[in-house]
Structure 1
Amino acid sequence: MTDTDRDLLPEGLEDRLPPAAAAAAQVTRGVIDVLDAYGYDRVQPPMIEFERSLASRMAGIRARKMFRFVDPASLRTLALRSDMTPQLGRIASTGLAATARPLRLCYAGPVVTIKGDGLDPTRERLQLGGELIGNDSLAAAGEVVAVAIEALTAAGARNLTVDFTLPDLVDLLAGADGIGALPLNGDRIEAVRRELDAKDAGGLVAAGGEAYLPLLSAIGPFDAAIERLAGFDTTGALTSRIAALREIAARLAGKARLTLDPSERHGFEYQSWFGFTIYAEGLPGLLGRGGSYTINSNSAERADEPAIGFSLYPDALIDALAASEAKRDALFLPLGHNADHAARLRAIGWRTVAALGACCDAQALGCTHVLEAGEALKILP
């Protein structure tokens, strides 16, 4: 490594400098405070676990996204977490197995992946979220989405959009062993899912999913899209799902713009009957994703558990808040200042910066005021 590149960070990783670090703390505090108010207890799992534990807790978890290495102590494979949700599943199934259900937990911390997502090279993200474990009912789904919206609003996000999906829609319609309302044999199910995700009508027909074409029109603003989905459901296979979506939407009326894309599966590797994605006006990409899923107990003595929750990825919100943040007032404390006066001003909210020598300059240190005769005087430009 040369002198010119020894301090470079790996691709997709970056320092969070002032004021972005302060904005990150503000966003985290806003989200966690809302979750705490709704009874979600915070847990703090480690960054590194055994790969087998992280990869086996929920169906669809992809170990290939994780950084993996051998633990010199146990000689077993360890992994850096790429998603905190499986860790919450492990905690619920082990340390909190005897705690009354439904169990409400929340978390905040960084997650790391081997490579970025699509055109975004970022490999480390802040993940915040809440999980409601032991129940994935309609009432639970309504609570989780409403809490996610309130948490993001408290963190500073505005003009939110919630896009609903039914992650297991194709499996439900195809039916077990290809016997369903719109039957498909096993090798065609994945192809139909893929073409629906790509919104490719020609590819969908070529994959043997012509009967699924109307799903491509059941997309858009919720009220119109749910009516088109209901019109598509001539067999009644989706009656309960449609009713559930309508009830959840009614609970969220006025809190966010609602849309529907019933066959969307991108990012929903382990979700089951219900999923949602959250976006905010003026911010690139998604802000959060959630839905229902099953926690594998990995034990013959304990049954698998239903759960529903959400994960927020607020890095874009943090960057936007940091860019728009006004410069904070700071009070310069000259050499020999009265410590009692400085303490009094800090107690009422002032941020102070003390001189450590004659060379310290108030304006160079970012101060807007100076302490003189016990009072904060504005520094004139």
Structure 2
Amino acid sequence: MTGLLPEGFHDRLPPFADAATRLERRVLDAAFLHGYEQVDPPLVEFEAALQRRLKAGGARDSVRFVDPASQATLAIRPDITAQVGRIAATRMGHHPRPVRLSYAGPVVRLRASQLRPERAQRQIGCELIGRDTVAAAREVVSVAVEALQAAGMTGLSIDFTLPDLLAELAGDLPADRLAALRQSLDGKDAAGVAAIDPAFLSLIEAAGPFDAALARLRASVHGPALATRLDGLAEIAAAVPADIAMTLDPTERHGFEYQSWLGFSLFQVGVPVEVGRGGTYTILHDDGAEEPAVGFSLFADALLDAGVGPVERRRLFVPVDADPAAAAALRAEGWVTVAALEEQDSPAAQLCTHILTAEGPKPA
């Protein structure tokens, strides 16, 4: 058993652990410049309180155990968003709205999926609490894109969805038929949708590149409230940089079961799964009141495991007889210096790309 880890857990070694830290720092720094200040909730909370805020879906992912000290049942967080909501609703309940918060840390899930076999993951994100307006959503989408670009990502794309659109359109459709309709739309089963109500076939057709999909959706969805919602979606998309590809799938619900009027997924060329997800939702207060919010979470492991994260290894070997002041000056410029501890040490042994000479750094 020496060296073995449970299924779904792994060690992250150099230089990839360093890359994970750099990715996290660049994202948080970009968010900080937009006013998002970091919170750091604990890995473990009381099960009952955490489940209440996670709602039904996330609660099933919690790893639970009995605390030997208090004999209370505790849970390891499977998601940090709910904890940020707790902080905003309690310790920062007095704070003027909106409140902008960022976070980063590990999460642990009870079960893994085929697309994401890791049970322990790093989650980075931002939450804007107190608003779910078009302006708030536009800011959050823009910050998510800017943060990924600051981390060195290129080839980004966004897929927008409208999680509660079907419920708005379905009206008084019986619950069993609505559930069957959701299932058929999730599977893009045109025959199944037509058997329930052919009018909803337009929602399958209104999927694809953003501009064309939005035009098809406008042509098939009517009513002033829905038109206003589509206008808001267009306004959000207009703020996305031109080099970011955008698509629209108005009925996509996987991962958006608890979002309200807007959801979005972030993708990166070369990564087989989404690298982030966000949207509008509500946080729960202790008195049962729901407060609007909008935010996003990024999944660092997906980027790093695909080899598109900021993996850098520029190391300067400092021989035994080198000038310590010269090495210190180079560290101030951003160099990583690795000092030889004995004459036999070498750049290759210390995984160094450069060596410090009297003329300065030279390739090793």
What is the TM-score when the length of structure 1 is the normalising length?
Answer: 0.89
TM superposition shift of 1:96: 0.4
The counterpart of 1:57, out of the listed 53, 58, 61, is 53
Q: Show CA shifts across 1:62-105 (max 9, x none).
A: 31211111112222221111111000000001110101100000
Equivalent residue runs for 1:225-236 within 5 Å: 225-236=213-224
| Structure 2 gap segments, 5+ residues each | none
2:303 aligned residue = 317
Mapped partners of 1:40, 1:260: distance in 2: 28
2:257 aligned residue = 269
Equivalent residue runs for 1:164-179 within 5 Å: 164-175=160-171, 178=172
TM superposition shift of 1:347: 2.9
Amino acid at match of 2:292: P
Check the 8 A contact 1:296/1:305 in 2, yes or no.
yes
The counterpart of 2:179, out of the listed 190, 193, 196, is 190
1:339 aligned residue = 324
TM superposition shift of 1:252: 1.8
Equivalent residue runs for 1:36-185 within 5 Å: 36-175=32-171, 178=172, 184-185=173-174
Q: Show CA shifts across 1:118-138 (max 9, x none).
A: 343111211111000001011
Inter-CA distance 321–21: structure 2 relative to 1 (3 Å threshold): same
Amino acid at match of 1:349: G
Inter-CA distance 101–326: structure 2 relative to 1 (3 Å threshold): closer
Amino acid at match of 1:317: L
Check the 8 A contact 1:57/1:298 in 2, yes or no.
no
The counterpart of 2:202, out of the listed 214, 226, 239, is 214
TM superposition shift of 1:279: 0.7
Mapped partners of 2:142, 2:363: distance in 1: 46
- Secondary structure of 2:204's counterpart equals helix
TM superposition shift of 1:377: 5.9
Amino acid at match of 2:99: L
The count of aligned residue pairs is 364
Mapped partners of 2:287, 2:326: distance in 1: 62
- Secondary structure of 1:272's counterpart equals coil
Inter-CA distance 91–255: structure 2 relative to 1 (3 Å threshold): farther
Check the 8 A contact 2:19/2:309 in 1, yes or no.
no
TM superposition shift of 1:114: 1.5
Inter-CA distance 159–345: structure 2 relative to 1 (3 Å threshold): closer
Inter-CA distance 89–190: structure 2 relative to 1 (3 Å threshold): same
Choose 1 or 2 for highest CA Rg.
1
1:248 aligned residue = 236
Check the 8 A contact 1:331/1:376 in 2, yes or no.
no
Inter-CA distance 326–40: structure 2 relative to 1 (3 Å threshold): closer
- Secondary structure of 2:26's counterpart equals helix
Check the 8 A contact 2:264/2:277 in 1, yes or no.
yes
Mapped partners of 1:115, 1:79: distance in 2: 14
- Secondary structure of 2:315's counterpart equals coil
Mapped partners of 1:155, 1:347: distance in 2: 22
Mapped partners of 2:147, 2:334: distance in 1: 25
Inter-CA distance 337–61: structure 2 relative to 1 (3 Å threshold): same
Mapped partners of 1:205, 1:44: distance in 2: 48
TM superposition shift of 1:255: 4.7
2:273 aligned residue = 285
- Secondary structure of 2:6's counterpart equals coil
The counterpart of 1:351, out of the listed 324, 336, 345, is 336
Inter-CA distance 102–235: structure 2 relative to 1 (3 Å threshold): closer
Inter-CA distance 325–96: structure 2 relative to 1 (3 Å threshold): closer
Check the 8 A contact 2:46/2:73 in 1, yes or no.
yes
- Secondary structure of 1:312's counterpart equals strand
Amino acid at match of 2:47: E
Check the 8 A contact 1:369/1:376 in 2, yes or no.
no
Inter-CA distance 57–131: structure 2 relative to 1 (3 Å threshold): same
Mapped partners of 2:270, 2:354: distance in 1: 35
Please identify, of 290-299 and 57-66, the stretch whose mean Cα deviation from structure 2 is larger. Answer: 57-66
Amino acid at match of 1:44: D
1:181 aligned residue = none
Mapped partners of 2:309, 2:137: distance in 1: 34
Check the 8 A contact 1:20/1:322 in 2, yes or no.
no
Check the 8 A contact 1:169/1:262 in 2, yes or no.
yes
TM superposition shift of 1:216: 0.6
Check the 8 A contact 2:317/2:350 in 1, yes or no.
no
Matched, 1:12 2:1: no
1:26 aligned residue = 22
TM superposition shift of 1:370: 4.3
What is the TM-score when the length of structure 2 is the normalising length?
Answer: 0.92
